[in-house]
A and B are shown apart, each in its own frame.
Chain A
Amino acid sequence: MPESVINNDQRYIDGLLKNDDKIIAAIYRNFAGKINHWICANSGTSDDAADIFQESIISIYRQAKDKKLMLTCPFEPFFLMVCKRKWWNELKKRSRQGVTISLESVSETGQEPEALASELMMMEEKDLLIQQFFRQLGERCREIISQTLSGEHQEKVAAKLGVSYAYLRKKKSECMGKLTMMIRQSPEFKNMKGPH
């Protein structure tokens, strides 16, 4: 991607990272009505809208924190797109017959907001998949992975678990190998586009 200009609305992202009260209030004040109206007009309730709104803010916060999200478009179309994509996914889950809104109606806000929202949704889908398979690992594997990713010095982790560091590293790589195999063999992973 060519070097893009960071939009002035990056302040929303920076504000979320700092838990800034004014920014949080501004997001609700400016966009809650729109999302409430849109979700209620698309088979949802105000409760659904509140959930989707909140989870979208949290998702953007995570994307900002972990992926250093830089806004190359105004915040509004990006945020509304994230909310709409999340609602679309929720409807897909609820209705096996298909959703009552089409992707086209979700995709009217331009390329840049859609690209940023897609990247965010992709990260979340991948996290969900990994979370699902992580739960299926044996307890010892889950424990070893959790401990080694805690940020603590690995020798200390080994001592805490009562094993040698070499054994810990070997077990961790085996457990991670099991996990990547489960992920790789899943149809969801095969359907996922883009980089891992």
Chain B
Amino acid sequence: MNVPAAWYLILGALLFGIGAFGFLTRRSALIMFMCIELMLNAVNLTFVTFSRTLSDIAGQASVFFVMVVAAAEVTVGLGIVVAVFRRRASTSVDELSELKG
């Protein structure tokens, strides 16, 4: 018998938590993007687990679209990081504080 789906769901929850913690605490824009990827992967893992449990291919189709959107998001995000680095010579998000009241 296969391992229960709950194990993979808990793994997904832990992965999401680690990604969220990294996103909240790290200050480099590049590392923050990687943490977003971690959280997206946690959600993908949950989607696939429920797809297996409920025997529904829609979960896997959703993962497919999440991957496409993640690729687009990384492309634009890294473009923004490069553009900011040209101006600031830094990727730290703490440097971007012009709008601070």
A binds B: no
